[in-house]
Chain A
Amino acid sequence: MFEWPEPFVWRAFFAALGLAIIAAPLGCIVVWRRMSYVGETLSQAGLLGVALGLAADINLTLAVILAAVAAAAVLTLLSRQKMVPIDSALGLMHHASLALGIAAIAVVKGPAIDLMSYLFGDVFAVTENDLYWIYGGGAVVLAITLYLWQSLVRLSLHEDLATAEGISPRLPRAAFDLLLAVVIAVAMKIVGILLVMAFLVVPAVAARPLSDTPGRMAVLAAVMAIFGVIFGLWLSLWSDAPGGPSIVIALCTIASISLLAGSFRRR
């Protein structure tokens, strides 16, 4: 009964596979630095980037990266104020960018535009050109991540200790924001703005109970994500559900089982 999948399925598979590998180590750092909500906010700023990109008629991937980096800069400023806690400030930004993004896209493109493809992505619409972007950009992202890995782990663990031992926190942190923005922009095509962070955070969550060192957690997160991609795409083809959400369902299922198993195993 097995039929060799059509090319669009292969493209979807390789796109999601690439993203899974790039996102895994960064996702671990997002979890360690308690930045899930920060990432969420950055990715929704990406929607504003889409609107601006459409209006200015520039490459949408680039526009999303720019918007996410700008949002990261605004967040850095916001984190310095002490009037409201940072999660509330994030709530403000996250809703503002989502609302502004949706409104702006509608104004630029007219109400007929299909928002769904931005919000939830369309993994089966990935083109060959997209694949070059994912693997080309992904290789650069992965190389920078590996280069900064030790610094990022030490800063996540204890910033003062790392700084006292001679790591300047500024460069790794700025680089990390940039890498996150790139991954968000790339992932938008595949899982969409609203589910981007699932690709980063959920594999890391799935890997945590089975890991005893940071490096192992990053590798395991990638493995978990690959399983999630395979299982998710199969689920999508079998049930006719959209691809991005199906992958996220698969990832979340794996993470739940892992967490559950982990909590039983703990003494």
Chain B
Amino acid sequence: MSSHDEAGLTPNGNGATCAPVSCSCGHNHGHQPFAGETAREPDPNALISARAVSMWRGSREVLTNINLDVKPGEIVTLIGPNGAGKTTLVRILLGIEQPGEGRVVKPASTRIGYVPQRFEVDSAIPMTVASFLALGEHTTLKDIKAALEETGAVKTLNQQLSKLSGGETQRVLIARALLRKPNLLILDEPASGVDFTGEADLYDLIDRLRARHNLGVLLVSHDLHVVMARSDRVICVNGHVCCSGKPEDVSQHAAYARIFGPQAATVLGVYRHHHDHRHDLAGEPKPLASKPPADPPPPARGS
């Protein structure tokens, strides 16, 4: 068992304070429960729980011992670099795939609204937004309009799905999710294909919906700034749970800095300074997660 010393790995020397954050960082997975998700038994209040979920692709372990709970009314953000297994985890939570090990617990009362990543409709399929929202659901045109009104996309009603912009597509997908009357919303990279201001608007919308419908929200993201400040809890995933906790704590965490680079910690800091002024971020460096894989692979995967 490799057991690295946490301090010795800190690349940014701003003193990773681990106190409010779980510091498992993968090195001792298998026998140490993770803070925030410490309970062995799934939280009875949770809308969905993963316990000790592991997954293999061929001989490669893409997820290791993941524990996770989403409770009503909270926004949990899964964050991690590309290829960290975030989408695989979401697919397991949704029941699209079965985990190699571990289990997903979902009370019967949980109704999931899912917004998939990269929803690119083949233009060979003719489909208006209205017909898409009616597809397979017992809904009325009134409900459909109301849902689109709520997500701010009512003018797309009679447009072709394949002709929508990235932001419009996301809003239509969220409307479809809302029509299922969910209490848990799972969104996989909702901001991909959306420009920066559109991205902030989108997260505002998610935040509003959460408050209005008391939704639990599980967000997947590889970008950092806008998402994190709105999250109640951030779980940093890179095959395993590197760290989790409140956004400001995670951003200061060594494992997080190791994955996203030392500047990543400051991104959130800047954002929190200008709480309501997303334009102030215009000069920000791009999210480091989209950097080419120049940084060394996280040492956590040493096993």
Query: Is A153's CB within 8 Å of the partner chain B?
Result: yes
Whether B96 contacts A163 by the Cβ 8 Å rule is: yes
Write the B26-51 contact mask toward A (1 if CB under 8 angstroms, else 0). Answer: 00000000000000000000000000
A106-159 CB contacts (< 8 Å) to partner B: 150-151, 153-154, 156-158
Q: How far is the CA of A167 from the CA of B136 in the complex (A)?
A: 10
Q: Which of B114, B116, B119, B127 contacts A213 (CB 8 A)?
A: B127
Residue of B nearest to A162 (CB): B136
B: contact size bracket: 20 to 34
Whether A158 contacts B135 by the Cβ 8 Å rule is: no
B112-126 CB contacts (< 8 Å) to partner A: 112, 114, 116, 119, 121-122, 124-126
**Known A158-B119, A213-B131; contact A165-B126, beta-carbon cutoff 8 A:** no
Whether A164 contacts B116 by the Cβ 8 Å rule is: yes
Q: How far is the CA of A158 from the CA of B124 in the complex (A)?
A: 13
Q: Which of B91, B94, B121, B126 contacts A217 (CB 8 A)?
A: B126
Shortest beta-carbon distance, B21 to chain A, in Å? 31
Query: Is B95's CB within 8 Å of the partner chain A?
Result: yes
Residue of A nearest to B112 (CB): A164
A189-218 CB contacts (< 8 Å) to partner B: 208, 211-217
Q: Which of A31, A151, A160 contacts B96 (CB 8 A)?
A: A160
Contacts of A165 in B (CB 8 A): 114, 136, 180
Query: Is B98's CB within 8 Å of the partner chain A?
Result: no
Query: Is B10's CB within 8 Å of the partner chain A?
Result: no
Contacts of B119 in A (CB 8 A): 158, 161
Contacts of B127 in A (CB 8 A): 157, 212-214
Contacts of A234 in B (CB 8 A): none
Query: Is A227's CB within 8 Å of the partner chain B?
Result: no
Residue of A nearest to B123 (CB): A208
Query: Is B192's CB within 8 Å of the partner chain A?
Result: no
Query: Is A32's CB within 8 Å of the partner chain B?
Result: yes
Whether B95 contacts A214 by the Cβ 8 Å rule is: no
Q: How far is the CA of A51 from the CA of B136 in the complex (A)?
A: 43
Residue of A nearest to B137 (CB): A165
B168-216 CB contacts (< 8 Å) to partner A: 180
Shortest beta-carbon distance, A222 to chain B, in Å? 15
Whether A208 contacts B95 by the Cβ 8 Å rule is: no
Whether B128 contacts A214 by the Cβ 8 Å rule is: no
Query: Is B12's CB within 8 Å of the partner chain A?
Result: no
Shortest beta-carbon distance, B50 to chain A, in Å? 16
Contacts of A153 in B (CB 8 A): 125, 135
Highest count of chain B CB atoms <10 Å: which of A32, A167, A216: A32
Whether B131 contacts A158 by the Cβ 8 Å rule is: no
**Known A32-B122, A158-B116; contact A212-B136, beta-carbon cutoff 8 A:** no
Whether A154 contacts B122 by the Cβ 8 Å rule is: no
Highest count of chain A CB atoms <10 Å: which of B112, B122, B124, B125: B125
Whether A208 contacts B114 by the Cβ 8 Å rule is: no
Contacts of B136 in A (CB 8 A): 150-151, 154, 162, 165, 167
Q: CB within 8 Å of B: which residues of A?
A: 31-32, 34, 150-151, 153-154, 156-158, 160-165, 167, 208, 211-217
The 3 A-B pairs with the shortest beta carbon distances in the complex, nearest first, are: A164-B94, A164-B114, A211-B126
